[in-house]
C-alpha cells in the first residue's frame, strides 16, 4: 500500500534530513537511487573510523581493527571522492595520504582508552513500522549495549568523528531526531526498553590544550515527551508533503549538494521553456 502512495518504502534519518534540506538531491538518491555524488574526504575518514570500531567491538584487536579500516579507505575509488582543488594525479595521491594519516590518528585517539560495554549488537540495521506513522522507519545503530543505568534496558551508542565539537547547548537539537529513529528500531527489534542514546564524538585533530579527544553526549529517553510528539508530527507532515509533491525543487544554498541539484534541475528543463522564455537581444 505504501509503495503505491509514496515513491519510497521507508524514512531514515539521513533521508528525512536530505528531503528537508534539498528535495531534488533527495529525489535523485532515494527515489532514483543514483549515488554518483562524490563524498568529501572528511566523510570517507569518518566511514573508515566507523569500520575500525565495528571490527573492534566485534572482537578484533586494536591494531587489526585500525588496519581493516585502512583497507576500507583504500578500497574507495578516486571518482567516489570529492578532492576539491586537488585535480592532478599527484595532488590526489597527496590528499589520500593526508586522509590516511587523519584516519589513523582519529582511530588511535579513540582506541587509546575505548569505552567498555556489554555489547548486544554491532551495526544493528532494522526497518520497523511505528503506530501512527504512514511509512516504516529505518535506522542503523553503531552499537546496542546493555544500559549502564538500567539493568532491564538498552543503550544505543553512536560514533561521530568530527573536526569540531558540537555546541553543548545544542545537543538535543542536533541529535534528537536521529535518537528517536534509533529508539524505535532498537526497541522493536530487541523487545526491551531503550533508555539512552549516547553520542560519542571523537575529535580527529589533537587538542592543543591536551584535553580529552572524546566527548560524550547523553540523551535520556525518560525525559522525552514533547520530542516524540515533534518527531511523529514531522514524519507525518513530511510524508503528506511527499505524497502530494510532483515537482522536486533544488536548493542552491545547500553547501554539500546545491550545485549538483541545480545542475540536475537544469538538465530536466523542457526545451520549450527556453523557446518560450529566453529571447537573447539581437
Whether the pLDDT of residue 172 is over 60: the answer is yes
Q: What secondary structure letter does DSSP report for 246?
A: -
Name which of 196, 197, 200, 226 is nearest 213 in CA terms.
200
In the predicted model, is pLDDT for residue 241 greater than 90? yes
What's the rounded Cα separation, in Å, for the pair 150 and 195?
Answer: 7
- Under the banding of pLDDT at 50, 70 and 90, the label for residue 250 is confident
What is the predicted pLDDT for the residue at 198? Answer: 96
Across the range 40-47, mean pLDDT stands at 95
Neighbours of 19 (CB within 10 A): 22
pLDDT in tens, 59-103: 999 999 999 999 999 999 999 999 989 999 999 999 999 999 999
pLDDT top residue among 53 and 272: 53
pTM above 0.75, yes or no: yes
Domains of the chain: 38-114 (no CATH), 119-224 (3.90.320.10)
With 0-12 CB in 10 A as exposed, 13-18 as middle and 19+ as buried, what is 237?
A: exposed
Closest-CA residue to 186 (of 235, 115, 120): 120
Extended beta strands in 147-207, E state:
154-162, 194-203
- Rounded Cα distance between 150 and 146, Å, is 8
Q: Give 263's pLDDT tier (boundaries 50, 70, 90).
A: low
Q: What percent of the chain has pLDDT over 90?
A: 73
Residue 258: pLDDT band with limits 50, 70, 90:
very low
pLDDT at residue 163 is higher than 80:
yes
Longest dimension (CA), the chain: 79
Contacts made by residues 27-30, CB under 8 angstroms, sequence distance 24+: 27/248, 28/261, 28/264
Amino acid at each position: 500500500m505504501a509503495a503505491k502512495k509514496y515513491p519510497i518504502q521507508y524514512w531514515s534519518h539521513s533521508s528525512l534530513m536530505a528531503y528537508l534540506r534539498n528535495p531534488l538531491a533527495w529525489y535523485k538518491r532515494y527515489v532514483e537511487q543514483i549515488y554518483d555524488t562524490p563524498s568529501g574526504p572528511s566523510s570517507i575518514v569518518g566511514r573508515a573510523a566507523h569500520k575500525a570500531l565495528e571490527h573492534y567491538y566485534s572482537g578484533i584487536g586494536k591494531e587489526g581493527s585500525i588496519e581493516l579500516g585502512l583497507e576500507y579507505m583504500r578500497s574507495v575509488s578516486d571518482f567516489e571522492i570529492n578532492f576539491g582543488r586537488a585535480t592532478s594525479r599527484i595532488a590526489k595521491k597527496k590528499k589520500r595520504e593526508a586522509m590516511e594519516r587523519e584516519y589513523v590518528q582519529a582511530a588511535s585517539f579513540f582506541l587509546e582508552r575505548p569505552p567498555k560495554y556489554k555489547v548486544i549488537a554491532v551495526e544493528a540495521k532494522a526497518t520497523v513500522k511505528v503506530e501512527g506513522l504512514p511509512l516504516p522507519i529505518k535506522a542503523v545503530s553503531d552499537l546496542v549495549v546493555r544500559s549502564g543505568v538500567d539493568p532491564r534496558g538498552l543503550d544505543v551508542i553512536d560514533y561521530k568523528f568530527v573536526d569540531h565539537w558540537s555546541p553543548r547547548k545544542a545537543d538535543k537539537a542536533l541529535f534528537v531526531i536521529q535518537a528517536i529513529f534509533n529508539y524505535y528500531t532498537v526497541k522493536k527489534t530487541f523487545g526491551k526498553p531503550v533508555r539512552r542514546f549516547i553520542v560519542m564524538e571523537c575529535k580527529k585533530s589533537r587538542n592543543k590544550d591536551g584535553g580529552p579527544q572524546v566527548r560524550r553526549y547523553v540523551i535520556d529517553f525518560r525525559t522525552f515527551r514533547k520530542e516524540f510528539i515533534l518527531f511523529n508530527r514531522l514524519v507525518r507532515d513530511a510524508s503528506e508533503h511527499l505524497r502530494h509533491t510532483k515537482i522536486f525543487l533544488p536548493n542552491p544554498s545547500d553547501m554539500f549538494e546545491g550545485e549538483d541539484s541545480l545542475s540536475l534541475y537544469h538538465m530536466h528543463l523542457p526545451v520549450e521553456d527556453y523557446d518560450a522564455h529566453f529571447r537573447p537581444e539581437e
